[in-house]
């Protein structure tokens, strides 16, 4: 690290000095929250909407984060973001999803108007204004930089930031191989959680919580104790299974994820395929049995996907390099299963509350006319209508938020080598410090690329 970088990082309030210790104030201190508002959000790529929310020219939706509001419009030239403010005296123009194809946008105060391309089309009594303050550039809606990936439009308020794909790094290739652009929404829900936005994210950054928070998953995973050892009674979990007792248990494991996620990650359509392989004839040897099982199941999942008219890909190959959770700095997630995925986004509301959304995404055929939802279903975080797994994850967060006021540092498991750790929490939090310190774009781009290397990793060198 250069002396200049070190002196910039030293200015960050509650900055990380030891990568294994995360200061608790970062989750509630108002100064820290203001620093994020000033130095992170105006410079980071933010997933603003899924393209399918606004499929036709003139469709629009609104993306809000803290005091910033952006209208995402399907213009004649693709989806673009515009600041959500009348360029006369600032009235907010759009309040949720809709279509402006017939009326355009009309300001309710003095009636200025815009079309679906964000161009001003009408001003009452334009002659009362000096021409230089109402030239085209000043009265068309103010554009916000917009780029696309994974079927989503991302925005960035910083015109000099590296491109979206360069910022995200190799994860885009990995998920691109999984045809992530082709996924469509099966369901979308959201909830306000009484915790800092980063705390909500970190509940999905490691598998270390599975034993206690999701005991049904731990108990249902063959050889689950291989990573973190047996439970308190010292008994191994599901060890010694062989033949189709083992492959049936793998079906059960996928079922537990699918049911626990409301069909997310492993979609019902995939589970119907897996079910056909219950009691299949496999060798007794565990490794050979698992090999025979997946060699039969995965092509069958691909074939079923094709038969629904959707594109598919080499799932077996993708599974070799996949993480169950792929994190996209600063606040977006994709969780691949076979062809389907779940997706998460966390947004701050206050220092101690956030909005978390979950999407269940599935591969759909081009001729599939299922309409995608345009807004999430919002439920209380402790609603029994949430599937079991997110409900279990949410249940810890309000308690952790309160407890953090009585803690000095979070203690992060660095993992064994580069695996089996809580390192992602430290990795992305140190990237955040880089933003708060105002490090240069190239340094931040490289660090983001490293932070986007999936969950369960160790503490990695982010370059500073």
Q: In the structure encoding, which two tokens stand for residue 322, read together?
A: 């996949």
Q: In the structure encoding, which two tokens stand for residue 71, read together?
A: 């209208």
Partner residues linked to 144 by β-bridges? 81
Determine if 82 is a binding residue for ligand FES (CB under 6 A).
Answer: no
* Cβ closest to ligand FES, residue 111 vs residue 215: 111
Determine if 21 is a binding residue for ligand FES (CB under 6 A).
Answer: no
Determine if 88 is a binding residue for ligand FES (CB under 6 A).
Answer: yes
Name the one range near ligand FES by CB under 6 A: 27-35, 102-110, 130-138, 169-177: 102-110
Interface pick for Fe ion out of 36, 270, 302, 393 (rule CB under 5 A): 393
Query: Phi, psi (5° rounding) for residue 392?
Result: -65, -45
* Cβ closest to Fe ion, residue 302 vs residue 393: 393
* Cβ closest to ligand FES, residue 105 vs residue 204: 105
Smallest separation (angstroms) from ligand FES to the CB of 107: 3
Smallest separation (angstroms) from Fe ion to the CB of 417: 23
Among ligand FES, Fe ion, none, the one that 393 touches (CB under a kind-dependent 5 to 8 A) is: Fe ion
3-class DSSP state for residue 61? strand
Smallest separation (angstroms) from ligand FES to the CB of 73: 17
Please list every residue from 321 through 380 that binds ligand FES, using CB under 6 A: none
Name the one range near Fe ion by CB under 5 A: 97-105, 126-134, 364-372, 387-395: 387-395
Q: List C-alpha distances in Å: 344 to 145, 202, 222, 328, 390.
A: 22, 12, 27, 10, 11
Interface pick for ligand FES out of 112, 250, 386, 455 (rule CB under 6 A): 112
Determine if 139 is a binding residue for ligand FES (CB under 6 A).
Answer: no
Q: How far apart are CA 13 and CA 29, in angstroms?
A: 9
Give the residue among 115, 312, 330, 299 at the shortest CA–CA distance from 202: 330
Among Fe ion, ligand FES, none, the one that 86 touches (CB under a kind-dependent 5 to 8 A) is: ligand FES
Residue 151 CB neighbour total at 10 angstroms: 17
How many chain residues bind ligand FES (CB under 6 A)? 9
Q: How far apart are CA 308 and CA 182, in angstroms?
A: 13
Q: List C-alpha distances in Å: 113 to 13, 36, 117, 118.
A: 44, 34, 12, 9
Q: Which residues contact 296 (CB under 8 A, 6 or more apart)?
A: 277, 280
Smallest separation (angstroms) from ligand FES to the CB of 196: 35
Q: How far apart are CA 57 and CA 46, in angstroms?
A: 22
Per CB under 6 A, residues contacting ligand FES are 86, 88-89, 91, 107, 109-112
């Amino acid at each position: 690290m250069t002396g200049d970088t070190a002196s910039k990082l030293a200015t960050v309030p509650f900055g990380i000095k030891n990568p294994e210790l995360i200061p608790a104030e970062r989750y509630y201190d108002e100064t820290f929250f203001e620093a994020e508002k000033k130095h992170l959000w105006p410079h980071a790529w933010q997933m603003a909407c899924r393209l399918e929310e606004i499929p036709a020219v003139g469709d629009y939706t609104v993306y809000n984060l803290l005091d910033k509001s952006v209208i995402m419009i399907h213009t004649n030239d693709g989806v673009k973001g515009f600041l959500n403010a009348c360029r006369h005296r600032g009235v907010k123009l759009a309040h949720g999803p809709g279509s402006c194809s017939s009326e355009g946008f009309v300001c309710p105060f003095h009636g200025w108007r815009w079309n679906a391309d964000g161009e001003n089309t009408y001003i009452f009594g334009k002659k009362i204004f000096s021409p230089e303050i109402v030239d085209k550039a000043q009265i068309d809606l103010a554009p916000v930089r917009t780029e696309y990936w994974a079927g989503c439009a991302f925005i960035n308020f910083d015109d000099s930031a590296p491109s979206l794909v360069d910022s995200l790094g190799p994860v885009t290739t990995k998920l691109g191989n999984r045809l992530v652009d082709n996924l469509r929404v099966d369901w979308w829900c959201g909830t306000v959680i009484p915790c800092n936005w980063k705390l909500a994210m970190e509940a999905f950054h490691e598998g270390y919580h599975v034993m206690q928070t999701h005991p049904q998953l731990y108990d249902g995973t063959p050889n689950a104790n291989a990573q973190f050892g047996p439970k308190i009674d010292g008994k191994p979990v599901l060890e010694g299974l062989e033949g189709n007792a083992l492959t049936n248990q793998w079906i059960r494991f996928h079922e537990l994820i699918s049911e626990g996620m409301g069909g997310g990650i492993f979609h019902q359509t995939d589970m119907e395929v897996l079910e056909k392989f219950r009691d299949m004839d496999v060798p007794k040897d565990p490794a050979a049995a698992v090999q025979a099982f997946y060699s039969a199941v995965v092509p069958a999942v691909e074939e079923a996907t094709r038969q629904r008219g959707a594109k598919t890909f080499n799932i077996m190959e993708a599974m070799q390099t996949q993480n169950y959770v792929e994190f996209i700095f600063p606040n977006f997630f994709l969780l691949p299963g076979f062809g389907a995925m779940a997706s998460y986004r966390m947004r701050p509301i206050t220092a101690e509350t956030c909005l978390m959304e979950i999407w269940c995404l599935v591969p759909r055929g081009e001729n599939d006319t299922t309409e995608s939802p345009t807004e999430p279903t919002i439920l209380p975080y402790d609603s029994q209508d949430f599937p079991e797994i997110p409900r279990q994850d949410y249940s810890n967060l309000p308690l952790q938020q309160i407890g953090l006021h009585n803690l000095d540092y979070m203690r992060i498991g660095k993992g064994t080598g580069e695996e089996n750790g809580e390192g992602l929490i430290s990795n992305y939090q140190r990237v955040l410090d880089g933003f708060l310190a105002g490090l240069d774009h190239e340094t931040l781009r490289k660090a983001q690329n490293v932070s986007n290397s999936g969950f369960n990793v160790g503490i990695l060198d982010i370059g500073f």
